[in-house]
Structure 1
Amino acid sequence: MGSLIKNNGHISDTVNNMGPYRALRGRVNNLGYSSNERLMTYLELVGFGSTTLIQTFNLRYDLISVLVERWRPKTHTFCFPCGECTVTLMDVALQLGLSIDGSAVTGVSTIAELAALCYSLLGVSPNYAESKFTSLRFSWPKVYFEHLSINATEHEVMCAGRAYIMHIIGVVLILDGNNNRVYLMSLPLLADLQNVRLYSLGFAVLAILCHELCRTTKPDAIDKGGYLILL
């Protein structure tokens, strides 16, 4: 394995030197609540119809840890004695139905008027205890949007749709180490739902997964983010 990777500081060095076995922890969250049927119009509009079918899996983190030992950051491929392979954009497109063409997905490090942004796009603002800079508590969207009133206006349904899409992005597709919070960096992209398909969200999902694979090749890494079901 060392001859395949050839990278000092890689977890494979520890394995080759008979160091202690390391099993990574997964940072996997499920959505916590199901989408309302009235949201499907907006979920289909932005290309998230297939992602609503995502199920929670009991992932084998021991096997994922072994894959990380075979990951070569320089080429973004898994190195095996029989050859190399990797997760591709086509895998993302086929499994998630997300766009892999279009504008790059970028976020902002800070949002100046968090409360105003939430009120404008979600119809409700978090209080100080629920918000922290550019993130919300994991439970916040569920509390406010899980039960949609039968008398909800079209604007309220649209706000609930934005919250659900933001939830999918933050706790499933582009998951980082902050398990109990949902980042709001993606919320400005949802201002005009008709433009969401113009962004390459599938590329962002794959980029985060590769970034997490590279990060967890360090021997001191203990947990792993990204959309692990792709592995």
Structure 2
Amino acid sequence: MTQTLKAGGLLSLSGVEALVLPVGGLPPDVDGVLGAPQLRQLPLWIDPLGGVMAFGRRALQAADRASDDQASPRSSGAEGEATIPLRWHRGVPLLSLATGSRAGMVEALADTGAEGLFVSPELAAVLPALGPSQPLRVAGFCGEQPASMTRVQGPSLTGRRPAAPVQAILTTNPVFQSLGVKAIVGQELLRLHRQLWRLESTPPTLPLRSAPAPGIHEAGDGVSFGSAGV
């Protein structure tokens, strides 16, 4: 059905097609999900540590301020800036994920809404595990599925240096087979960076900015997230 959607009073999408699914895969305080057809129309800025999202012109302004902070002596001195190439496949953005293992670089779905790093059984088999796995169940648009979570070494967005350990969720999500990918990259890796999603560009890109040093506050307009979804 066609809807007019609003997010935080700063974004309005008219004439979009909304897909209603009878699947309980969303948190209680989230009403829906903005997918690639909407997000590829304008720049999107996500600052996980600051709890801010911005769209369009405000997204570009926030990214410019972050670049200025990166060049400042006050900068945290982390990895700095990097731009991740993206490509469209069957209507969704993919990226190349550095695994730090004999698997090398693998294709992965880039998903801003995914909380974790989801890996296929094939990829999990070659990632160095740092401890025992823990069983769990994950819920999403594909329904509820059994899974296991393990702390692993290796996966990195940039591959510039030895990656810090991360939590990987092993699952048999049908997305792996339908898209031909080995992983779904969510906020487990993305939240370490401030992100400018340029899905409207040709080709699409994902510029990353390091998190600001403690005590640095980035001012500006945006949509705070965490308490409500769109």
Q: TM-score normalised to the size of structure 2?
A: 0.25
Which of structures 1 and 2 has the bigger CA Rg? 1
Q: Which has the higher strand share?
A: 2
Q: Which has the higher helix share?
A: 1
